[in-house]
């Protein structure tokens, strides 16, 4: 078992879980948090976790962590994945651990690795300006055997290293390239569109094996999801499990949790790889997961990074093998609609809904103007649901995405 977990990044829910578990930990984050950490007795090392590069001095960080006896680093955010990789390379005396971390942070490299290993991915390229995007579309259209007058093929443009949907553009025509993309988007990855329903899963990996697999059903990406997924996806659990294991093998992942996104092919028989991250997923997914399966998923996330933990020890942190909960937990993230808002108004119909569990919506301090959202950022809280029927759950989550909670 680890001497001390170094949590890379600032996350109060994770700190709370660590405090309750009594496991030794230390938080590594920007020095700005130091005063707060001190006030709340949170073991803390202030460090500028800037973008990782050749100038980054992980040895210095190792030194700073020595007094805490840290021997396992846990990345909490996209931006700290390389830092954790660097530390774990040192702790495990294996330089390839850092290289694997780069895989998660460079989407082009990730795709190449997947391709090499035999996962189905789209046609992709790294591009540095709009000109190259147009050329990419030419080649993509050509490969799709487009005839004059036919619609352009669809593709996606995404930054090499950003969480979730941040900076993501879905391009559906040549005009879209100039309309949606600007200089600040480059360089980036472009990839042909994989059709099919998108879903994500969370696989807790220990010693290169999938220890626990959760399947999350998105009702609307970035707004609402529920756990466990409906029977359509849960019915493919074995297939998904096998594909995840395949991916883990290809990427050489040994410890931690991966959060890949997949597309179910139109015939429902195959799943195609989208991308993968190894930090805490957005959308409060681990919180839902914990509620649904009755364990502390954030704590499980942390301990699965520990190579020294035995299988038996690990079992204490997970639900029993093969356990399937009866009730589904779902949430809707509430984003005020664009425009002026002045107060919170919870609809009466929600309060009469038996599936409604609770909410943590914040009250605005006064009238304010709401702009556009980016990624999972700036939501005003979540509304939580619980119930057995997946269809009812879908219906509710879909419905409450559009209900205005702020007026």
Partner 1 sequence: MALTTSQLEDRFAQSLAAFKDAPAFSKKDKRTRLVSQLDLLSRSAEGMALIYERMPSLEEAGLFRDTVWEDPKRLVPGLVRGTLLSGSPTSTLEVVNELRLLSVQQNRLDLPGFSAEEAERYLQRLLVATFEMAFEDFEQKGWERYPKGELKKIRLLFKHLKRYIDFDALKPFLLEEIEVIVAHRPIVVTRIKQMLRVVHDRIDLDPRAEVDRKLSYYVNVLYEPSDLAKRHPSVEAYTKVLPQLKPEDLLAECQALGKCMIDTGLVSEYQLALLKYVERKQPDLIPAVLSLDTHGQADFERHGDFVRHLIMEFIVSGNKQAVYGLARVLQRNLLSRKTTWHAFNRFVTIKIHPKIAERLEQGNLSSYELTPKQSLMGGTLCALGQPLGVRQGNNPTCQSARGISMWSRHAPGKLINLLIDAATTNNVVFRFEGETIESAGVIEGLTQKFDFKLDPVSIVLVPHLDKVYNEMMKKASLKHFGKDPHSSVNPAFYGHWIQTGFASVYNPALHAVQDYDRFVRVFYASFHPEYNGGHHLIYPVPTGIFITDASANMLGYHAISLLRVEKDQEGVWRAYFFNPNSQGKQDWGQGIHPTVWGNGERHGESSLPIDQFVSRVYAYHYNDLRLGDKYLQVPAAIVSAITKISKESWGRKYRWV
Residues lying near partner 1 in the complex (CB under 8 A) are found at: 12-13, 15-16, 19-20, 36, 40, 342-346, 348, 351-352, 354, 356-363, 367, 381
Closest CB to partner 1 among residues 22, 148: 22
Q: Minimum CB separation from partner 1 for residue 381, in Å? A: 7
Q: Minimum CB separation from partner 1 for residue 295, in Å? A: 15
Instruction: State the Cα–Cα distance between residues 26 and 53, nearest whole angstrom.
Output: 23
Q: Minimum CB separation from partner 1 for residue 15, in Å? A: 7
Closest CB to partner 1 among residues 99, 340: 340
* C-alpha distances out from residue 246 to 117, 120, 183, 273, Å: 9, 12, 37, 11
Closest CB to partner 1 among residues 204, 356: 356
Closest CB to partner 1 among residues 13, 252: 13
β-pair type (25-29, 44-46) = parallel
Q: Minimum CB separation from partner 1 for residue 38, in Å? A: 12
Q: Minimum CB separation from partner 1 for residue 49, in Å? A: 20
* C-alpha distances out from residue 326 to 214, 218, 323, 386, 395, Å: 14, 19, 10, 10, 18
CB 337 within 8 A of CB 404: yes
Q: Minimum CB separation from partner 1 for residue 370, in Å? A: 16
The dihedrals phi and psi of 231, each to the nearest 5 degrees, come to: -60, -25
Q: At what angle do helices 96-105 and 81-92 cross, to 10 degrees?
A: 170
Q: Minimum CB separation from partner 1 for residue 294, in Å? A: 12
Closest CB to partner 1 among residues 46, 117: 46
Closest CB to partner 1 among residues 115, 344: 344
Closest CB to partner 1 among residues 52, 77: 77
Classify residue 391 by burial, with Cβ atoms within 10 Å: 0-12, 13-18, 19+.
exposed
Closest CB to partner 1 among residues 24, 117: 24
Q: Minimum CB separation from partner 1 for residue 39, in Å? A: 8
Closest CB to partner 1 among residues 273, 385: 385
Q: Minimum CB separation from partner 1 for residue 200, in Å? A: 24
Instruction: State the Cα–Cα distance between residues 202 and 132, nearest whole angstrom.
Output: 35
Q: Is the dihedral of CA 33, 39, 44, 47 positive or negative?
A: positive
Closest CB to partner 1 among residues 15, 244: 15
* C-alpha distances out from residue 339 to 48, 228, 248, 374, 404, Å: 36, 35, 44, 16, 12
Closest among 97, 104, 90 to 261, alpha carbons compared: 104
Q: Minimum CB separation from partner 1 for residue 385, in Å? A: 12
């Amino acid at each position: 078992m680890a001497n001390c977990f170094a949590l890379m990044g600032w996350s109060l829910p994770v700190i709370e879980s660590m405090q309750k578990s009594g496991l030794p930990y230390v938080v590594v984050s920007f020095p700005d948090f130091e005063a707060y950490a001190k006030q709340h007795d949170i073991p803390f090392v202030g460090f500028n976790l800037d973008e990782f590069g050749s100038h980054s001095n992980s040895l210095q960080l190792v030194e700073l962590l020595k007094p805490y006896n840290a021997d396992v680093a846990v990345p909490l955010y996209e931006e700290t994945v390389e830092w954790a990789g660097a530390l774990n390379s040192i702790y495990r005396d294996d330089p390839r651990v850092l290289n694997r971390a780069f895989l998660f942070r460079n989407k082009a490299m990730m795709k190449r690795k997947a391709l090499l290993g035999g996962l189905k991915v789209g046609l992709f390229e790294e591009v540095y300006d709009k000109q190259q995007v147009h050329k990419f579309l030419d080649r993509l259209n050509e490969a799709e055997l487009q005839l004059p007058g036919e619609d352009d093929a669809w593709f996606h443009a995404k930054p090499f290293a950003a969480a979730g949907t941040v900076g993501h553009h879905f391009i559906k025509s040549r005009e879209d390239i100039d309309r949606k993309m600007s200089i600040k988007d480059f360089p980036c990855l472009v990839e042909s569109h994989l059709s099919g329903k998108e879903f994500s899963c969370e696989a807790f990996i220990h010693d290169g094996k999938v220890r626990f697999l959760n399947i999350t059903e998105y009702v609307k990406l970035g707004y609402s999801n529920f756990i466990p997924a409906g029977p359509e996806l849960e019915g493919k659990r074995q297939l998904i499990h096998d594909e995840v294991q395949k991916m883990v093998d290809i990427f050489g992942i040994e410890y931690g949790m991966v959060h890949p996104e997949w597309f179910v092919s139109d015939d429902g028989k195959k799943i195609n790889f989208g991308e993968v991250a190894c930090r805490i997923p957005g959308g409060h997914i681990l919180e839902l997961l914990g509620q649904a399966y009755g364990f502390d998923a954030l704590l499980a996330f942390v301990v699965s990074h520990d190579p020294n933990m035995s299988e038996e020890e690990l079992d204490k942190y997970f639900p029993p093998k093969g356990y399937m909960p009866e009730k589904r937990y779902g949430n809707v993230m509430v984003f005020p609609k664009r425009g002026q808002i002045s107060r919170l108004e919870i609809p009466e119909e929600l309060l009469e809904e038996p599936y409604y569990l609770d909410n943590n919506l914040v009250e605005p301090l006064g009238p304010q103007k709401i702009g556009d959202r980016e990624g999972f950022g700036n939501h005003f809280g979540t509304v939580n649901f619980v119930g057995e029927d997946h269809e009812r759950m879908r219906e509710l989550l879909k419905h409450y995405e559009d209900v205005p909670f702020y007026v």
